[in-house]
Amino acid sequence: MSIIAKRIREMREKIGLNQEELAALVGVSKNTVWNWENGKREPRSTEINKLAEVLGVSVSYLMGETDVNHENIKKGSFQSVIEVPILDPALMACAGEGNHMENIYAKVDKTIYLPTSDIGVISTDMDKRPFAVVVDGDSMENAGIPDKSVVVINPAEEIYDGDIVLIAFGITTQIAIKWIFFKRDGSIELRAADPAYPPLIFTKEDIENDMVKILGKVVCVINKPRRGV
C-alpha cells in the first residue's frame, strides 16, 4: 500500500469520518475514497489539495514528503458533516399536511452527507432539520435548479424576499419550488424562473387557513451532469 493511501485512511479515522462522509466533503464518490485507501488509484492534484484541507494536514504530509503534520492535527480542524435525508413527494405531501418530520424521517431509506457550512443554521428541533428532495420539472432551471437535481431544504433558515423556497399548497397538497415575495397586505407571490409559468398568489387569509405552507428555504443544489445528445 502506498504512503498516500495509508495516510488518507489513517487521518480519516483519526478525525472520525467514514468513507462516505469524507467523499461528501471532498466532492467525490465513496467508491473513489475506497480506491484511494486501497491503493487502486491516487488522487489528482486538485483532490490532494482538497483532501489535505479536509483532513487538516499539509499536502507534503499526505504525500509522504514529511512527517511533521502527524502530531500537529488539532481537533476540529476538519469540516463537520450532516446526514441529510432525501424525501420523496409523497412524504413531502405528508409534511405539508402537518405531520411531524420526525415520523417522516423514520420512513427514509436514502441519505446524503454534506458539509454543515453548506446548510446554514442547524436546528435541534426535528421539525426544522434539513432535508432534500429531487426536483420534478423545469420551472426553476433558469435559477440554476434543473429537472432531476437534488435540492437541500433548511426549515430553520430565515426567509427573505427573493429567496427560493419549497412550498406545499392547495387542497391536494401540491409541492413546488419557487421564488417567494412578501407583499405589504400579508399575501405572498410565488414565481417560477421561467416566465411561461404564471405566478401563484396566496392571500393573508389563504395563509391563515393553511392553503399554503412554506416548508423551508433552498440552501444547496446538487446537479447531475447531463448526457450528450
Helix (H) or strand (E) holding 62: helix 59-63
What's the average model confidence in pLDDT over 104-116?
67
User: Are 3-71 and 81-222 in the same CATH fold?
Assistant: no
What's the average model confidence in pLDDT over 40-62?
85
Q: For residue 98, give the DSSP letter.
A: T
Task: Indicate whether 198 pLDDT > 90.
Answer: yes
Query: How is residue 214 written as a grid cell?
Result: 412554506
CATH number of 81-222: 2.10.109.10
Query: How is residue 1 written as a grid cell?
Result: 500500500
Nearest Cα to 159, choosing from 131, 183, 128, 182? Answer: 182
Domain positions in the chain? 3-71, 81-222
Cβ–Cβ < 8 Å for 171, 113 = no
Task: Indicate whether 55 pLDDT > 60.
Answer: yes
The predicted structure's pLDDT at residue 73: 44
The predicted structure's pLDDT at residue 93: 45
The predicted structure's pLDDT at residue 95: 46
Cβ–Cβ < 8 Å for 111, 83 = yes
Architecture of the domain spanning 3-71:
Orthogonal Bundle (1.10)
- Reported as a single tens digit per residue, the pLDDT across 113-157 is 777 778 888 887 877 889 998 888 899 999 999 988 889 999 999
* pTM (2 d.p.): 0.63
Task: Indicate whether 111 pLDDT > 90.
Answer: no
Cβ–Cβ < 8 Å for 111, 86 = yes
The predicted structure's pLDDT at residue 72: 44
Nearest Cα to 155, choosing from 87, 217, 68? Answer: 217
